[in-house]
Amino acid sequence: MEVAIFWLLAVIIIASAAATVFSKNIIYSAFSLLFSFLGVAGIYAMLSADFLAVTQIMVYVGGILTLILFGVMLTNRITMMSLKTDVFNFIPGLTIAAVMLAGLLYVIWVTGTWASDSPAAWDTTVETIGTLTITRFLLPFEVVAILLLIAVVGASFIARKDKQKIQS
């Protein structure tokens, strides 16, 4: 049962990621990215990371994907039907991706020596994550909070319209 669910999720993730990368239409790319993110959230849930599965759905699907769709709409003249983007460097890109995949699979299946028997699953991870956040990972947590603030302020500063351009 578990194996069947894993393969189902894997097929969903890989197929929609391939659609994202290969599709000529950028809107199709954005929407197949949605299914890829949802499948990854399912994989997190299978790995007994329930908090992260919910975070994945909220941040990626609710935040980043919406942001990307805004980017698509604001940077394409929809009336001119210029939504198609072409693929270039097809052969070198495919070669490098295939070589990288072969190298990763070689390391994973041939030279990997990590234990692969799974310990007992956690009941829920929320309590442990909360405790770790305010004890062992307190400093990274604060740093990342400040970084997020800086990124948001910086992004809105970069993206705003130039005052002179508006007046002219």
Partner 1 sequence: MESLTLNHFLTLSAVLFSLGVFGVMTRRNAVVVLMGIELMLNSANINLIAFSRYNGNMDGQMLAIFVIVLAAAEAAVALAIILNLYSNYNTVNLDEVDQLKE
State which of positions 49-78 bind partner 1 (CB under 8 A): 49, 51-52, 55-56, 59-60, 63-64, 67-68, 70-72, 74-76
Ramachandran sector of residue 89 (left: φ over 0; alpha: ψ -120 to 50; beta: rest): left
CA distance 34 to 57: 10
Cross-strand bridge partners of residue 84: 25
- Helices 2-22 and 26-46, interaxial angle, to 10°? 160
- Using CB under 8 A as the binding rule, the residues of this chain from 88 to 147 that contact partner 1 are 88-90, 92-94, 96-98, 100-101, 104-105, 108-109, 112, 114-121, 125, 128-129, 132-133, 137, 140, 144, 147
Residues 2, 111, 134, 168: which binds partner 1 (CB under 8 A)? 2
Long-range Cβ contact pairs of 76-82 (< 8 A, separation 24 or more): 76/26
Cβ neighbours of 66 (radius 10 Å): 12
Number of chain residues interacting with partner 1 (CB under 8 A):
85
Residue 12 binding partner 1, by CB under 8 A: no
Residue 86 binding partner 1, by CB under 8 A: yes
> What minimum distance in Å lies between the beta carbon of 137 and partner 1?
5
